[in-house]
Amino acid sequence: MDLHRAKMLIILLTAVCLLLVTLFAFCKQTWMLMGGAFFFLLMMLVRTLFNRCPHCRKPLGDHTGVRCPHCGKRL
């Protein structure tokens, strides 16, 4: 999975997680909270595995710049 797709997937998983947790606040359905926790863990897994520099493979974390903070190559 390339970096762009990984970032889009992270955004999507975070949005679903927030939606489910917000719905849980109103509906008090336990499955919504469990679903939110599941999507949060899935997002963390995708972030850990795929949010990496395609050149040096080091994790990017919250970095949003155009160049890798480790090797300096264009992302």
* Binding positions for Zn ion, rule: CB under 5 A: 53, 55-56, 68, 70-71
Distance CA 5, CA 48 (A): 14
72, containing H or E segment: none
Give whichever of 6 and 23 is closer to Zn ion, judged by the CB atom: 6
Nearer to Zn ion, 20 or 53 (CB): 53
**15 versus 54: smaller Cβ distance to Zn ion:** 54
Q: What is residue 52's three-state secondary structure?
A: strand
